[in-house]
Structure 1
Amino acid sequence: MRRDPRDLVRYTAGQRANHWIVGISFILLGMSGLALFHPAFYPFALLFGGGTWTRILHPIFGVVMGLAFILMVIRFAKHNLMSRVDWKWIGRIGEMVDGIDEGMPAQGKYNGGQKLMFWLLLLCMLLLIPSGIVLWRTYFDFPVEWVRWAAVVHSATAVVMICLIFVHVYAAIWVTGTVRAMWYGTVTRAWAKQHHRTWFEEVTKR
């Protein structure tokens, strides 16, 4: 892909690698988790060598994703603090969905929707990690009652997170020019000015 040397750097190589480790881990977790969740999804287990290996690998994928996600939170939390402008943006998200984004409040590096997604995913991880540890009976021996509740929390939260990730991926594809930021680390000046005007003004004044 030919890129303009005037394009703006949005993500470093390290940030992109961090994101893709989380993303790939999530896909592996989703497929292995669904295989363990219901017989209808058992064919996914064949991708991991069968039911036994799926049960072994699922929590390992979870550890990888958990550590990578924590690193991502450290990297991006400061950019995702909500402000009044973000809530105004969210309040007018219907206009964005309808493709009328000219009058949307100017946004920083992330818009209100992206920030809300960040915190919702973090909340999911805060529920998935401890409940997953309780369910990892190979190494931990918690009371049966804990295990039962953990199974409910883990499953319900996983479903919510899968839905959130679908929204995240769809939005990235829907807004033309967004995906390239995670492939190449750069975005065009036109894209930045249209979708993240405040951030555009900040980085171009440096």
Structure 2
Amino acid sequence: MTSETYAAPGDKIVSKEPVVVSRYRGFTRANHWVTAICMIVLLFSGFSLFHPSLFFLTGLFGGGQNARWLHPIVGVVMFFSFFLLFLQMWRLNLPRQEDVIWTRHIGDLLKGEEDKLPELGKYNAGQKIVFWGMSVLIVALIATGIMIWQEYFPNLVSIPTRRIALAIHALAATGVFLIFIAHVYAAFWTRGTIRAMTRGTVTGGWAWKHHRKWLKELAGRASQSQPK
């Protein structure tokens, strides 16, 4: 096994006939779905308050007043939920040399010619872009969200600063929305990915095709743990 690590502590090969690989622990999956649900609530409640033409969306939350107080509360919950995900995943999302090669061959991926791509660890460059993009934008959202949360922080910043914060908040939310859509699309487009966040496992064939370095490291762990 190389000095580079591509796997998280809970990752392991579960069975050999057929090969089933544990990709996400139960805690990580629950953490992911709490974050996703919060994000969906925030997107709809945020859109409902963004423009009068979208105000009808407040009906999903029982009216404008409910949407107004619910939005920032759920935002705080999502921030801390994503922070837990960040602590679990940031090391494996650091850029590596193979990410540069993978990005150069993105056209081959879209054509279904993954055999031309380099072997990858647990995450590819696209997944890492989603991770770091979300990380930056969520920090921007929580920071600007506190600035415009007049119920609890009415005198935190001046009115001109609050207006700028509101504009940045809206732009960051738009960025999160676009990344979220891309993330969901990629999860459905790459068959077998949804299973990782529902059951916690993937097939050996899926791991070999998409994240071969990760699988090889797990195989190395398994062989070292067997009694001699």
What range is the shorter-chain TM-score in? over 0.9
**Matching residue's letter, 1:82:** P
**Unmatched runs of 5 consecutive residues or more in structure 2:** 1-14, 222-228
5+ residue gaps, structure 1, are none
CA distance in 2, matches of 1:57, 1:9: 36
Alignment of 1:26-175 (within 5 A): 26-141=39-154, 142-175=157-190
Give, in whole Å, the separation in 1 of the partners of 2:130 and 2:70.
27
1:110 aligned counterpart, secondary structure: coil
Q: Distance in 2 between matches of 1:42 and 1:97?
A: 38
User: Which amino acid is 1:185 matched to?
Assistant: G
For 1:72 and 1:6, how far apart are their aligned partners in 2?
A: 27
Deviation for aligned residue 1:171: 0.3
Question: Contact 2:105–2:116 at 8 Å: present in 1 too?
Answer: no
Structure 2 counterpart of 1:30, one-letter code: L
Task: Quote how far apart the aligned CAs of 1:133 are.
Answer: 0.5
SS at structure 1 position matched to 2:90:
helix
RMSD across aligned positions (CA): 1.2
1:9 aligns with 2:49: no
Q: CA deviation at 1:84?
A: 1.5
| Greater helix share, structure number | 1
* Structure-2 separation of matches of 1:33 and 1:145: 21
Q: Matched residue of 1:102: which SS?
A: helix
Shift of 1:6: 3.4
Q: What's the TM-score once normalised by structure 1's chain length? A: 0.96
For normalisation by structure 2, the TM-score amounts to: 0.87
Matching residue's letter, 1:151: L
4+ aligned runs moved over 2 Å, structure 1? 3-6
